[in-house]
Amino acid sequence: MEVVLLVVAGLYLGWNIGANDSANCAGASVGSRLIPYRRATLLVAAFALLGAWAGGARVIETVGKGLIAEALNPEAVLIAMLASGLCVTLATAFRLPVSTSQAIVGAMTGLGLAVGAEVDAARIVRIVEAWVVSPLLAGACALGLYHLTALPLRLVRRVGLLDRLLDWLVILSVGYAAFSLGANNIGNALGPLANLGLRSPELTLLGGLALAAGVLTYGHRVTETVAHRITPLDPLSAFAAQTALALVAHGFALVGIPISLSQAVVGALLGVGVAKGLQIVGWEKVALIALGWIATPLAAGLLAFGGAKLYGLLG
């Protein structure tokens, strides 16, 4: 029963990742009105599952044994997973793109402090540094991609051919971004289980399916924010933002660092905004999202810390 509860908690966390982060992969395309929402979610679900299966191993190892080296007891891990999942569920309900990476890292850190386990502070500092750097990299990458892609497209004189080129570019960028989502964020759902030695290809597949289910069932709320509340989008902007997000997320996944896709996509959208004019950026919404980035790891950490202490008292 203990193992079943842990797996269910991992799947709940995977569902949360899909529900909140699907917007990061497809919100720009939906906002550009190039891909209908339902078609975009099917594309994201399929490629996120593929990314989790094929590319998530390094981040699973980091979250599982890189933050807290010693094995934890199952009850403590369950508390951390539920704390981070609850924070992301609440953020999704309020249509805020928050970081599931921040939630699980905050929860695992709070848990480690509560039970007196040795927390790898240096590793946490490196992850936090990646959270700061990743949106800057995504913004610079999106800005460069926008200008590099706009130049040859201006030479295409036939409107029908131009539309088809943009269609394929955006579809490819959605698929790559979704693959990067699965590769970088599946570790947030399954990493805590890896700390307990619960790790298998079948479990990774289940986590990927849970992530895909979150995309399909509850991803619409945050997609609305990314699609329409940050900056006006066209197909070229969507391609540049999504490709920049994918490159940054995939790069960090290869070295085993869980980043915030929400931060990366906002950075990418701001990079597009710089290319088109900063006056079109919805700065109030960006400020609210940034506040969520600060609150998420703190709230998850406090919930996990308090939950572990309470369990210790009651136990």
Q: Is the pLDDT of residue 74 over 90?
A: no
CB 264 within 8 A of CB 134: yes
Structure tokens at 57: 């191993």
CB 100 within 8 A of CB 185: yes
- Given the structure tokens 């040859």, which residue do they identify? 152
Alpha-carbon torsion angle 171, 172, 178, 182, nearest 10: 150
Q: How many residues does the chain have?
A: 315
Looking at the chain, the number of H-run helices and the number of E-run strands are: 12, 0
Q: Is the pLDDT of residue 66 over 60?
A: yes
> Does residue 33 sit in helix, strand or coil?
coil
Rounded Cα distance between 166 and 249, Å, is 23
Report, as an integer, the average pLDDT of 156-165: 76
Q: Is the pLDDT of residue 76 over 80?
A: yes
Rounded Cα distance between 25 and 185, Å, is 12
Rounded Cα distance between 175 and 198, Å, is 29
Average pLDDT, the chain: 84
Phi, psi of 119 (to 5 degrees): -95, 130
Q: Is the pLDDT of residue 108 over 70?
A: yes
Using 50, 70 and 90 to split pLDDT, how confident is the model at 69? low
Residue 146: closest CA among 169, 174, 178, 172: 169
- Of 55-69, 91-105, 133-147, 199-213, least confident by mean pLDDT is 55-69
Rounded Cα distance between 155 and 81, Å, is 51
Phi, psi of 68 (to 5 degrees): -130, 110
Report, as an integer, the average pLDDT of 192-208: 80
Report, as an integer, the average pLDDT of 52-80: 80
Structure tokens at 91: 């953020």
- Given the structure tokens 């006056």, which residue do they identify? 279
Give the residue with greater pLDDT, 178 vs 189: 178
